[in-house]
Amino acid sequence: MPHPASNKHQDAAPGDAPSPPRVADAPPLRHHVQCQAHKFGGSSLADAERIRAAADLVDDGAPARVVVVSAMHGVTDALIGLADLAARGEDWMPGWSALRARHFDTARNLLGAAAPEAALAADFDALHARLVDIRPRCGVDADHAAWVHGMGEVLSSRLLHAALGGDAAGWSRLDAREVLVVHPGELGVAVDWEASRALLRKWRAHHPGNDVVVTGFVARSASGQPTTLGRNGSDHSAAIFSVLFQADALTIWTDVDGVLSADPRLVPDAVCLPMLSYAEACELAYFGAKVLHPQTMAPAISHELPVRIRNARNPRAPGTLISATPGERGQSRGTPVKGVSLVEGLAVLELSGAGLIGVPGTAERMFSALRQAGVSVIMISQGSSEHSICSVVNQAQADAARDAVEAAFAEAIGDGQAQGIALTPDICVLAVVGDGMVGVPGVAARLLGGLAQSRVNVRAIAQGAGERNISVAVAAADAQRGLRAAHAAFWLSPQTLSIGLIGPGNVGRALLEQLAGAAPRFMADALPGQGLDLRLRAVANSRVMHLHDKALDPATAVESLAGAETLDLDRFAAHVRAEHLPHAMIVDCSGSDAVADRYADWLDAGIHVVTPNKHAGSGDWRRFQAIRAASRHGGRFRYEATVGAGLPVVQTLRNLLDTGDALHGIEGVFSGTLAWLFNKFDGTAPFSQLVLEARAMGFTEPDPRDDLSGTDVARKLVILAREAGRELSLDDVSVENLVPAPLRDVGLAEFLDRIAELDPPMQARLDAARVAGGQLRYLARLDREGRASVALTVPDPSHASLHGQLTDNLIQFRTARYPDNPLVVQGPGAGPDVTAAGVFGDILAIAQTLGARA
């Protein structure tokens, strides 16, 4: 047999999953265990310290114990290498000597003078003799290969046996080759249970003790020749010997806390599953869960025996219990899915053609051709139209698969009845698994929805009638993002948003403070795996940017820009759009027209955009249309804070229009800054003094002319007009500029020096208003015909703008439903805190559409 251990999991991350026979049929282990079986992988026996720890773990108080061992970490690979060197006629002595020294050093560190050096010396002498017997250029025969490859378990069993006290402490040591009889089967190595039980009875007659250390991985053929159980052999051995010794339960000791909901290297938020059914464990094992292998589950399933996966380095962790019927407690926090797995290195093979429709035997002919070519089919998908049959195969076999199917259908292809064979490489299969999926509507919708939200295209889908597994084929480039998205879609991990912030000015800094305060709460207050992870991974100003692989602390993000690299918006966006995270968002608080130019491209790439920047909504019409189009099929675009800071102005208008109302007009105070100025301006203080006071409080832009010009108000009016379907641009708005012409183009310092020049014209306007019995307000108006204006006016004494608070924005919507008494949205509209709150609200709104439960 060629290298029977070449595919073996040396210390397969978490143990693989066999199981012993047991009488009890409830999922939890019994309180009074008669026989407990343990299995230790190579990582749990890697050195003297780990072997000593394993000996302590076995001391569980059970009346009888069976301990199955793997070779020490790396030893099986070393033995395979020695046999190969011997077969090639190369010098294997240095490797043999190093292996001998490692075991002797471990024995001495473990037991000192009590180390079983004589027994180890005899084992290594025997290994030496076997290697000498291997004839160069003749290859390694199966018997020699199995004997040499299985020597690691013999050696580790001696060390653990001695560490447990050996024969003097009542421990026997069983070389599995004395009793375990196996033969090749159609689905792998099969156990001759009758012969094995007979040999074990004979062995027990000479070793009647209750405690036994057993070599894993190795066995014997019916003729008595040495062999191995192949891949994951030690775990399979543990399940077999649990049955043979009639153990009540099996604990597989590994180096992780149990079976995880996904590969933690790909999904850092993977959670440890407390319980699994055998069916779930097998599904997860087949689809790549390294802790398990389906073959090791067979004895457990047939005898309904519980298997617990535990961490030898963290024995306090309860691990994962695998049993026949884990029941409701097995359902992970209400989600129907237990785990998500990924199989990589695949290709999609598709046979299509109109001539295939309704023709019996087409699928049989295709799969027969694949079988004869030795090609394993991972997944099958066929539509009810029968126009095409799609199968997923290992990429290494893809060319052979295509050639075989083309040969089988050569005549049909030649006659035009079949279009031919399409082969798509670089495919992964993503599978969601769980007993709770059975009979539950909407599971597939949740999976496909989560993938769609992460911009992952599904190439093929398959679900069996058992409803325990849904598998989808996706492009390898999308696989990791899809895995994270699927994991989050079923609440197995927090919904994660990779966030980049541009523009840490007044609003940006306020937003960072709010994120720092609220983001931890979204994780802490949620049920396990159901939180919202707002992960700030990039920050930038107009000159530099700082990109972080994991997460920036919002509280110190601005300080990280000191000495940062030059701003590159392409690199910034690519970093935020990390392949290993399901969702990406850029928050633009910059007020830059150049940044707004990037929105459409970001949205097209699936990056969500949130902004208080008014340039996108009120600038170039064609750019606005491109942004709108991209947001319909790409990322989501939220801009509530562009009009009313933290007020729901855009959403209110959107709700009116979406429910069929007709807009007649919009009017109101659109600037919290100007609202404050004209609520305060009563002649007791010069207007210029109020402007400087507002600037000192942070109510104005750094240059107050940006507020006094009316352009900001006009932009807000354009945004609302476009939201209502009007094709309005900034040039179409009549705007009254409150800054006298001589002050509009001077530098900021000069403007502030000459700011008193504002006072005479403003005092004259106030006096005129008082003569008319009114007050001044700076109002924006859009009428039914689409005419737009922004000006300082004297509204009617009953106008709502005359009765608001100091910084209130006030927007009135007159519609078909509200023709006389308009719908009013009113509240604070100035200051970075309320604007940042509006931006934060948009962030959370997008997160909730992605499935977050914040």
Catalytic residues: 716
Query: How far apart (Å, rounded) are the C-alpha atoms in residues 637 and 609?
Result: 5
Q: With contact defined as beta carbons under 8 Å apart, do 546 and 539 qualify?
A: yes
Query: How far apart (Å, rounded) are the C-alpha atoms in residues 515 and 422?
Result: 49
Q: With contact defined as beta carbons under 8 Å apart, do 14 and 258 qualify?
A: yes
Q: With contact defined as beta carbons under 8 Å apart, do 495 and 533 qualify?
A: yes
The two tokens of residue 193 are 């249970």
Compute how many other C-beta atoms are within 10 angstroms of the C-beta atom of residue 172: 18
Query: How far apart (Å, rounded) are the C-alpha atoms in residues 109 and 105?
Result: 6
Q: With contact defined as beta carbons under 8 Å apart, do 793 and 777 qualify?
A: yes
H-only helix segments in 584-733 = 593-596, 599-604, 615-618, 621-633, 641-644, 649-658, 672-680, 687-696, 705-708, 711-723
Query: How far apart (Å, rounded) are the C-alpha atoms in residues 251 and 670?
Result: 68
The two tokens of residue 297 are 């589950």
| CB-based burial label for 589 (10 Å; 0-12, 13-18, 19+) | buried
H-only helix segments in 785-831 = none
Q: With contact defined as beta carbons under 8 Å apart, do 311 and 257 qualify?
A: yes
3 state DSSP class of 349: strand
| CB-based burial label for 680 (10 Å; 0-12, 13-18, 19+) | middle
Can you give the C-alpha Rg of the chain in angstroms?
A: 36
Q: Which amino acid appears at position 147 of this protein?
A: W
> DSSP string spanning 88-141?
TT---HHHHHHHHHHHHHHHHHHHGGG--HHHHHHHHHHHHHHHHHSPTTS---
Triad 631, 659, 644: Cα angle to 5°: 60
Query: How far apart (Å, rounded) are the C-alpha atoms in residues 830 and 645?
Result: 7
**Separation of CA 802 from chain center:** 53
All residues at 6 or more sequence positions from 760 whose CB lies less than 8 Å from its CB, including other chains: none
> DSSP string spanning 247-267?
-SEEEEEESSSS-BSS-TTT-
Q: With contact defined as beta carbons under 8 Å apart, do 714 and 729 qualify?
A: no
Q: With contact defined as beta carbons under 8 Å apart, do 486 and 430 qualify?
A: yes
Task: Please give the C-alpha separations between residue 101 and each of 98, 128, 384, 672, in angstroms, as whole numbers.
Answer: 5, 14, 64, 80
Residue among 712, 730, 728, 593 at smallest CA distance from 642: 712
Strand duo 275-277 + 182-185: pairing: unpaired
Q: With contact defined as beta carbons under 8 Å apart, do 378 and 393 qualify?
A: yes
Query: How far apart (Å, rounded) are the C-alpha atoms in residues 748 and 751?
Result: 5
Task: Please give the C-alpha separations between residue 319 and each of 35, 236, 267, 307, in angstroms, as whole numbers.
Answer: 20, 19, 19, 10
Query: How far apart (Å, rounded) are the C-alpha atoms in residues 89 and 611?
Result: 71
Query: How far apart (Å, rounded) are the C-alpha atoms in residues 431 and 447?
Result: 10
Residues in the chain: 854
Which residues is 735 bridged to in the sheet?
790
Triad 615, 616, 617: Cα angle to 5°: 95
